[in-house]
């Protein structure tokens, strides 16, 4: 079972848009056990900005597939799937998009409102933190330092 989970998580690191789409399609095809279906998108979402966008886009486009797939499962499984689709976004635009999506599908996620609230609150905190980080000059300092080190190495 650990080998299967490791394989699912490895697929979550798919390097191209095409492979990410194929991996997510396969993950929701019925080939993966229901209790394991969250591993691939969780890893994909955490692997890169492109992975974050891929999991969110796939989740919103295939909501009916997820709903059908998880209708008889525990609501905690849908909580994990939701987290694998939208956790940790850090822009106001993305936070607003996620908020609007779940607001317009409130009846579909009646049992997941607590998790959705936690995720959207986390996004707001990320937005606030990044604004303070950028205002402090720390981001620019890191960029300048990285540029200087890269120049010194070449």
Residue 1 has pLDDT above 90, yes or no: no
CB neighbourhood size of 63 (10 A)? 15
Residue 6 has pLDDT above 90, yes or no: yes
Residue 154 confidence (pLDDT) = 86
Per the prediction, the chain carries an average pLDDT of: 95
CATH classification for the domain delimited by 2-153, as one of 2.30.110.10, 1.25.50.20, 3.10.20.580, 2.40.50.70: 1.25.50.20
Say if residue 137 is exposed, middle or buried (CB neighbours under 10 Å; 0-12, 13-18, 19+).
Answer: exposed
- Helix axes 49-61 and 75-86, enclosed angle (nearest 10): 130
CA distances from 49 to 13, 52, 54, 58, 90 (A): 12, 5, 9, 14, 11
What does pTM read for this prediction?
Answer: 0.88
Say if residue 84 is exposed, middle or buried (CB neighbours under 10 Å; 0-12, 13-18, 19+).
Answer: buried
Domain boundaries, the chain: 2-153
Residue owning tokens 């976004």: 89
Distance CA(121)–CA(147), nearest Å, equals 34
pLDDT in tens, 65-100: 999 999 999 999 999 999 999 999 999 999 999 999
């Amino acid at each position: 079972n650990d080998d299967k989970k490791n394989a699912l998580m490895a697929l979550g690191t798919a390097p191209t848009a095409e492979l990410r789409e194929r991996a997510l399609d396969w993950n929701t095809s019925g080939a993966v056990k229901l209790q394991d279906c969250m591993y691939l998108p969780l890893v994909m979402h955490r692997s890169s900005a492109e992975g974050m966008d891929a999991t969110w886009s796939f989740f919103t486009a295939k909501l009916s597939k997820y709903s059908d797939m998880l209708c008889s499962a525990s609501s905690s499984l849908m909580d994990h799937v939701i987290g694998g689709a939208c956790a940790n976004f850090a822009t106001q635009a993305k936070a607003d998009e996620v908020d609007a999506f779940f607001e317009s599908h409130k009846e579909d996620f009646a049992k997941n409102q607590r998790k959705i609230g936690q995720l959207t609150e986390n996004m707001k905190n990320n937005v606030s933190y990044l604004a303070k980080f950028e205002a402090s000059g720390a981001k620019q300092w890191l960029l300048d330092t990285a540029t200087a080190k890269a120049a010194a190495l070449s």
